[in-house]
């Protein structure tokens, strides 16, 4: 079967509005099933009023990747491995599409191999990490999302009882720590999700929430700073004083791009 020509749109509004999980579901639905159009995908995957959106949201995501109407259901009845091979061997560059094909399952498998090869008590630590997870420990409440977060906790904490927070530097029990994504998980590509450098230890007593919601930022030099777009009431100003002249302990060559991406996302949102 000859694959249709990719026809990329330069419009980014819809693409930028959604994270990895939504993009992945949209791409898989479009390529592997002919049953639903853009309106139904807006309704079922993006949970939008399709009578208002008219399918423009999912259409924008697909068009950005070059997947227009000729690709609808093109792999229906074909297994994922075969579909991957067809795109990988095509003369066109399908790398942008391949990144979103069933990526969540691959992430779990790859992370498990990476983490288990370096952790001597892997199974016990994984069970303990799964038991300790709460809804605040990851952006996905699915079993896959929880397993992914647990694997990252094993990577960071292993069988340690205490660890230092990357932001405030306090040494605290690991049950008060989060394996915090430096770049927000929903914006991470497949390759970024399997990079063990994507997370850092951040404490639950302030640092994780302040970093996640953009009240504190990590600059190019690794120094922690306030976000100029946020307001800081006096009580919060007092709390923020603890970060004065402090550097993030996880700022290094392998993570600097993730901090830059996080700051870019914050600036876009403001």
pLDDT tens digits, residue range 176-198?
Answer: 999 999 999 888 888 898 999 99
Q: Report the pLDDT value the prediction gives residue 150, as an integer from 0 to 100.
A: 93
Query: CA-CA distance, 173 to 180, in Å (whole number)?
Result: 15
Query: CA-CA distance, 30 to 16, in Å (whole number)?
Result: 19
Domain spans of the chain, in order of start: 13-98, 103-269
Query: CA-CA distance, 95 to 97, in Å (whole number)?
Result: 5
Q: Report the pLDDT value the prediction gives residue 139, as an integer from 0 to 100.
A: 47
Q: Report the pLDDT value the prediction gives residue 86, as an integer from 0 to 100.
A: 96
Query: CA-CA distance, 107 to 124, in Å (whole number)?
Result: 20
- Output 217-221 pairs: Cβ under 8 A, ≥24 positions apart: 217/262, 217/263, 217/266, 218/248, 218/251, 218/259, 218/262, 218/263, 219/259, 219/263, 220/256, 220/259, 220/260, 221/247
Q: Write out residues in the chain with pLDDT < 70, as ranges.
A: 102-105, 134-144, 269-270
Q: Report the pLDDT value the prediction gives residue 225, as an integer from 0 to 100.
A: 94
User: What pTM does this model have?
Assistant: 0.73
DSSP H/E element including 201: strand 199-203
Q: Report the pLDDT value the prediction gives residue 196, as an integer from 0 to 100.
A: 95
């Amino acid at each position: 079967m000859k694959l249709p020509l990719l026809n990329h749109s330069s419009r980014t509004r819809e693409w930028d509005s959604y994270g990895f999980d939504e993009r992945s579901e949209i791409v898989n639905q479009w390529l592997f099933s002919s049953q639903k159009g853009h309106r139904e995908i807006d309704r079922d995957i993006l949970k939008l009023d399709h009578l208002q959106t008219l399918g423009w949201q999912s259409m924008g995501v697909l068009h950005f990747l070059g997947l227009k109407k000729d690709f609808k259901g093109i792999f229906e009845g074909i297994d994922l491995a075969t579909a991957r091979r067809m795109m990988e061997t095509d003369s066109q560059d399908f790398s942008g599409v391949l990144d979103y094909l069933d990526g969540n399952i691959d992430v779990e498998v790859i992370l498990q191999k990476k983490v288990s090869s370096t952790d001597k008590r892997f199974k016990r630590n994984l069970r303990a990490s799964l038991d300790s997870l709460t809804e605040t420990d990851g952006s996905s409440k699915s079993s896959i999302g929880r397993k992914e977060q647990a694997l990252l906790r094993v990577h960071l904490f292993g069988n340690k009882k205490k660890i230092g927070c990357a932001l405030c530097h306090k040494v605290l029990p690991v049950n008060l720590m989060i394996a915090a994504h430096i770049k927000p998980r929903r914006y991470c590509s497949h390759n970024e999700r399997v990079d063990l450098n994507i997370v850092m230890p951040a404490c639950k007593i302030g640092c994780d929430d302040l970093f996640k919601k953009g009240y504190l930022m990590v600059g190019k030099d690794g120094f922690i700073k306030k976000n100029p777009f946020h307001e800081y009431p006096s009580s919060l100003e007092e709390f923020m004083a603890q970060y004065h002249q402090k550097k993030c302990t996880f700022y290094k060559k392998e993570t600097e791009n993730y901090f830059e991406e996080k700051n870019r996302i914050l600036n876009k949102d403001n």
